[in-house]
Amino acid sequence: MLNISRVRTVLADHYDLEPSQDCAEALESTYARMSRVVTPPDWITFAPYVRAINALKQERNAVILGHNYMTPEIFHGVSDFVGDSLQLAMKASEVEAQVIVQAGVHFMAETSKILSPEKTVLMPDMDAGCSLAESITADGIEEMRAKYPGAPVVTYVNTTAEVKAASDICCTSSNALQIVNAMESDTVIMTPDQYLAQNIANQTHKKVVYWPGSCIVHEQYTAKDLREFREWNPGTELIAHPECPPDVVAEADFSGSTSGILKYVTDRKPEKALLITECSMASNIADQLPEVEFVGPCNMCPYMKKISLEKILWVLHSGENEVFVDPSVAEKARQSVQAMIDLSRKLGL
């Protein structure tokens, strides 16, 4: 557990982190990417951290992989690569830097380590977990195999390395349908997200059986919420992540992974859009899409929100919170993740 007062004292001894108008102005072009969603007083506070992190990244030969659910100052201020789970996994297998800081949740850092075992992977907060990853162990995979003998196991990347190692292939929300369709068997086991599995089942001829896990962010939305919103704010495009329950997805105008959402909104440029997903998604794309008004409620992921500029600076400074995966587990997990990446590349995803 991070001792935040010790962290603050040490960081203050090494870096100039006082709120600074001069620093904020010097980083004006960075701020321009988030000025619709980050207020000037907040930027004056963030800018010294952004400056310190970007300088330290060079010294340490480090890159920051930022998920689409990071807050805008992390997403636009310090991330070298941003994207959805698939894009970040692909990037982790390619980066040249010696150190990867995972601005996301723990399973993403494990995936980076699995794909780049020779690199140092740092997690700004080890407690940044995921309700889906917590919902299943390798025993759960064996339980499903015993129930459906011969059926391949397609496991969402939102899982631990042990679970990936016990599976046949991984998937993310942007390639799940294609991966399921590519399986030879007529029955496919999907773990651990019951809603992603049900949403895929609605689009494929395969029989999809699933584990009863769920995302605490997306499971909160209801179809009634969406209908009421449409009535209250007509003309808004409703765009849902496939971790939402199927009746929510059915009520939406479009469903896709976080990168799918970005592409849809960028291509269509609706006048008003409600993103039925984690709150930072809309914030991170608001400045690049000034013609779109992002409206309505969103849900925050308490795990993603554990990541802050301060914690990123700390792990870069101290080298603490290195992520390790047992090499024998990593080897098997790599096969599942690599099989997904190879298939995705082959399909041009």
Name the residues that contact ligand 13P, by CB under 6 A: 68, 84-86, 105, 158, 172-174, 215, 243, 257-258
* 241 within 8 A of 257, measured Cβ to Cβ: yes
In the complex, what is the shortest distance from the CB of residue 239 to ligand SF4, in angstroms, rounded to a whole number? 16
In the complex, what is the shortest distance from the CB of residue 46 to ligand 13P, in angstroms, rounded to a whole number? 23
* Binds ligand SF4 by CB under 6 A, chosen from 105, 161, 262, 333: 105
Rounded to an integer, what distance in angstroms lies between the CA atom of residue 194 and that of residue 179? 16
Is 284 near ligand SF4 (CB under 6 A)? no
Instruction: Tell me which of ligand 13P, ligand SF4, none is bound by residue 62, counting a contact when its beta carbon lies within the kind-specific cut-off of 5 to 8 angstroms.
Output: none
State which residue, 19 or 129, has the beta carbon closest to ligand SF4.
129
Instruction: Tell me which of ligand SF4, ligand 13P, none is bound by residue 216, counting a contact when its beta carbon lies within the kind-specific cut-off of 5 to 8 angstroms.
Output: ligand SF4
State which residue, 214 or 321, has the beta carbon closest to ligand SF4.
214
Number of residues that bind ligand SF4 (CB under 6 A): 13
Structure token pair of residue 179: 């991966």
Report DSSP letters for 312-327, one per residue.
HHHHHHH--SB----H
Rounded to an integer, what distance in angstroms lies between the CA atom of residue 246 and that of residue 60? 45
**Cα distances (Å, whole numbers) of residue 62 to 13, 57, 76, 220:** 22, 5, 16, 36
In the complex, what is the shortest distance from the CB of residue 139 to ligand 13P, in angstroms, rounded to a whole number? 23
Quickly count helices (H) and strands (E) in the chain.
18, 12
State which residue, 24 or 109, has the beta carbon closest to ligand SF4.
109
In the complex, what is the shortest distance from the CB of residue 124 to ligand 13P, in angstroms, rounded to a whole number? 15
Using DSSP bridges, classify how beta strands 254-255 and 272-276 pair: parallel, antiparallel or unpaired. unpaired
Q: Which residues pair with 169 in a beta bridge?
A: 154
**Cα distances (Å, whole numbers) of residue 283 to 93, 189, 309:** 28, 35, 17
Instruction: Tell me which of ligand SF4, ligand 13P, none is bound by residue 308, counting a contact when its beta carbon lies within the kind-specific cut-off of 5 to 8 angstroms.
Output: none
Residues within window 296-335 making contact with ligand SF4, judged by CB under 6 A:
301, 303-304
Stretch that binds ligand SF4, among 4-12, 38-46, 53-61, 130-138 (CB under 6 A): 130-138
Rounded to an integer, what distance in angstroms lies between the CA atom of residue 205 and that of residue 99? 43
